[in-house]
Amino acid sequence: MKRLEDSLTLQLLRPRESSMTFFRPVLQKAGFTEQQWRVLRVLNDHEELEAKQLAHLCCILSPSLTRIITRFEEDGFLIRKKSPIDQRISLLSLTPKGNETVKKFRPEVDAAYQRIKEKLGEDKLKELSRLLSDVIALES
């Protein structure tokens, strides 16, 4: 068995935690968890998604996503409607309030990303992204 510090899964979690230190202050200011922000960002980038698609794109398990959807629906950030093709499928989209919220905090999130880019360097960031894409492709 490998030494704990050589564990690939831990090596992937640690940089995630490190990078999130740049974003957490913005998310706390906005009043959202990391998962909630991912939902807003993904829905902002897509006009409408099925709940299953949203869960996949956000890397969120269905029970957690259900709680977020319920809260966001109650708070007026998103709307849920039945698919005209299959009534069992829920289609989700942001309301104008949801879109405005993303628009309001996106510059701060982008600035945090820019700080990471400045610290790491553009070439290293591109290489990291390429390597992570390779790891992600292993699942298929």
The verdict on pTM exceeding 0.75 is yes
Q: What is the pLDDT of residues 80-103, one digit of tens each?
A: 999 888 888 889 999 999 999 999
From residue 51, alpha-carbon distances to 3, 41, 75, 126 in Å are: 39, 14, 18, 30
**May I ask the CATH architecture of the domain 8-137?**
Orthogonal Bundle (1.10)
Confidence band of 117 (pLDDT split at 50, 70, 90): very high
Res. 1: pLDDT tops 90? no
The domain limits of the chain are: 8-137
pLDDT at 83: 86
Are the C-beta atoms of 112 and 22 separated by less than 8 Å? yes
Share of the chain above pLDDT 70, in %: 97
- Which residues, 6 or more positions from 81, have their beta carbon under 8 angstroms from its beta carbon? 90, 91
